[in-house]
Structure 1
Amino acid sequence: MGGAVRSELRKVFTTRLWWGLLLGVVFLDGLISFGFSFLVGADLGGDNPSASPFLHPNAGTIQLVFSAGFVYYLTPLIPLTLGVLLITSEFRHKTISATYLAVPVRPVVVAAKLVAVVVTGAMYALVHDLAVVAAGGGVLTLRGQPTFLDSGDVWQTLGVSLLTFVCWALLGFGFGMLIQNQIAAILVGIGVGFLAQIILGIVFGLLSWDGVSRWLPGNLSVGMLVTQDPTNGAQASSGDPYFSWWVSALLLTAYGLALSIIGSWIASRRDIT
């Protein structure tokens, strides 16, 4: 098993794939956090407190700054794509047969690939944390705004982001195992991870099914990462739109593991040519 895991990790880190997507994490997440940090403490509406929701920041405001890419369903696309590419590249380049011949027990191959997905996803999350703290936290410091980096809630967000990245990478791996065609799997993954969630969120909102929208993977991510009201009470709310962070974490983990296991089980019963 150890040799199979090392082999899978070597496949990841000897290609340009991993650092190309890693640069995407740095630039995308850093840029979004950079932009959001300018809203903290900004008076945008005069006497209307709801127009300046981040005028009086708290720990939840900084959680939002560091997790804004997840709020807009953009950041999850990177680990999702990573998970898809880590498995579909084998099918695309016809190397999956050699992999199965090298390790004849297919469950061992799948388990090794899952470990590689988890390790790589966690590494991406660490880089994400560094990027958002450097970009967003740097701007906040220069503007004289609090970073709340002494708050346990903010550090919880930075820590839980590791699990969030891993879960989305597992979802991508599951899509890749199910579909196997690289382009199709990426398109389906993006469709589900981005477009479908936006559309379903709008539909559920129009139908007043707020409780149903909690179950969407993107909203589970936000529920894991933003645990305090980022507006510090400036905007009225009809209720908590998310599950508690640990329930969200359990559900998103279940989604990722379920899709990965189902995809792997189906793929293991297909003939490899």
Structure 2
Amino acid sequence: MGNLVQAELRKTTTTGLWWGLLIPTVLLALGGGLLSGLIGQWFVNLISTSEAEELSQVLGVTPDQWRVSMFGMARSINLATLFPLVFGALAISGEISRRTITTTFLTAPSRMHAMLAKMLVYAFWGAVYGLAIMASTALGVVLVSESSQLPDAGGWAMLTLVCVLSSILMTMFGIGIGALIPNVAGVVVLLIMYFLVIENALQLGLRISGTPETLVGFLPNGSVDGLTGTVAVDLFLSTAGVVPEEGVEWLRIIAGAGGAQAWWLSGLIFLGWVGVAFGGGWALVARKNIT
């Protein structure tokens, strides 16, 4: 098994795909962090004007304690994890389309061993991407924000945990869908369209139709976004004073976690989607004829 893992790792490091996707990932996360910090600082300056003093007194908190940048950070992380999703999708679809999967299956003790080795290696890369995303987003926010706008050590640790977890799960989901749709261009376009357009339109339609908001949190994008979004909202509420329940739901929507469950439950829901995609891809690859 160790040799299979080494072989899979060598496949990824001897091509430029991992760093070719990592560069835009870091740039997007850094840009998102900078924008989040700037918007958060602008909002704090706006709410600090004399016209907003009464609102601050009612809430029992000074404006500089409103960590508005947390919402932008969650959005930035969620958007950046599209790159490890694509990276995972190319893990099998690229090999099948180029027929390099044949050598892998013929030299491995079984296809199950080959798939398990691939899963372990790409989980590692998902963690690498997650750490890079978190570091870049955090750097962007820190560069333009005051210390009062930043989370404490526990908050940073929690954001890092859910960011890495989200990145790993997105990579695994990509592998499963890539196995189900062994067409490089097709699977990449489909995944990006789904996470950026299709499900967002579906969520909007559900909200307009009056469907319970919690249903959104059970969709693939809604559940994975809930991982970081709910943590961001919790960090904001920890210093925001008294916020009514209706306001909390709007904060979740702003953070991209409208209708989401608690972060750990959102993670379990998306893990279920990963299991369906990966299990289906695994079953398809196990029966696929190789040439």
TM range (shorter): 0.7 to 0.9
The AA in structure 1 aligned to 2:224 is S
Give 1:104 shift: 4.1
Determine whether 1:218 maps to 2:221: yes
In 2 relative to 1, CA 151–234 (structure 1 residues): closer, same or farther, beyond 3 Å? farther
Answer whether contact 1:63 1:157 (CA < 8 A) is retained: no
In 2 relative to 1, CA 245–182 (structure 1 residues): closer, same or farther, beyond 3 Å? same
Question: What's 1:206 paired with?
Answer: 208
Provide the aligned C-alpha RMSD in A: 2.4
In 2 relative to 1, CA 153–222 (structure 1 residues): closer, same or farther, beyond 3 Å? farther
Answer whether contact 2:76 2:137 (CA < 8 A) is retained: no
- TM-score for the superposition, normalised by structure 2: 0.82
- Higher relative contact order at CA 8 Å, sep ≥6: structure 1 or structure 2? 1
Question: What's 2:71 paired with?
Answer: 64
Determine whether 1:135 maps to 2:140: yes
Question: What's 2:158 paired with?
Answer: 156
List per-residue Cα deviations over 1:77-124 (Å, max 9, x = no partner): 211101111212211222111111111400000101111110000000
In 2: Cα distance, 1:55 partner to 1:265 partner: 54
Query: Matched residue of 2:148: which SS?
Result: coil
Give 1:213 shift: 0.8
Q: Given the alignment, which residue of 89, 92, 109 partners 2:97? A: 92
Query: Larger radius of gyration, structure 1 or 2?
Result: 2
Long gaps (5+) in structure 1: none
List per-residue Cα deviations over 1:145-193 (Å, max 9, x = no partner): 4243424233201112111001111111011100111111111211222
Question: What's 1:80 paired with?
Answer: 85
In 2 relative to 1, CA 58–6 (structure 1 residues): closer, same or farther, beyond 3 Å? farther
In 2: Cα distance, 1:171 partner to 1:149 partner: 30
Q: Given the alignment, which residue of 192, 195, 198 partners 1:193? A: 195
Query: Matched residue of 2:39: which SS?
Result: coil
In 2: Cα distance, 1:145 partner to 1:92 partner: 50
Query: Matched residue of 1:38: which SS?
Result: helix
In 2: Cα distance, 1:56 partner to 1:242 partner: 27
Question: What's 2:177 paired with?
Answer: 175
Question: What's 1:252 paired with?
Answer: 270
Query: Matched residue of 1:87: which SS?
Result: helix
Determine whether 1:35 maps to 2:35: yes
Determine whether 1:121 maps to 2:139: no
The AA in structure 1 aligned to 2:247 is S
Q: Given the alignment, which residue of 239, 247, 252 partners 1:237? A: 247
Query: Matched residue of 2:80: which SS?
Result: coil
Long gaps (5+) in structure 2: 57-61, 253-258
Query: Matched residue of 1:265: which SS?
Result: helix
In 2: Cα distance, 1:87 partner to 1:155 partner: 33
- TM-score for the superposition, normalised by structure 1: 0.88
In 2: Cα distance, 1:75 partner to 1:216 partner: 19
Q: Sequence identity of aligned pairs in percent?
A: 24
Aligned length: 264
The AA in structure 2 aligned to 1:218 is N
196-205 or 73-82, larger mean C-alpha shift: 73-82
Give 1:216 shift: 2.1
Query: Matched residue of 1:123: which SS?
Result: helix
Determine whether 1:111 maps to 2:132: no
Query: Matched residue of 2:260: which SS?
Result: coil
In 2 relative to 1, CA 134–238 (structure 1 residues): closer, same or farther, beyond 3 Å? closer
In 1: Cα distance, 2:8 partner to 2:126 partner: 14
In 2: Cα distance, 1:5 partner to 1:55 partner: 51
Give 1:56 shift: 4.2
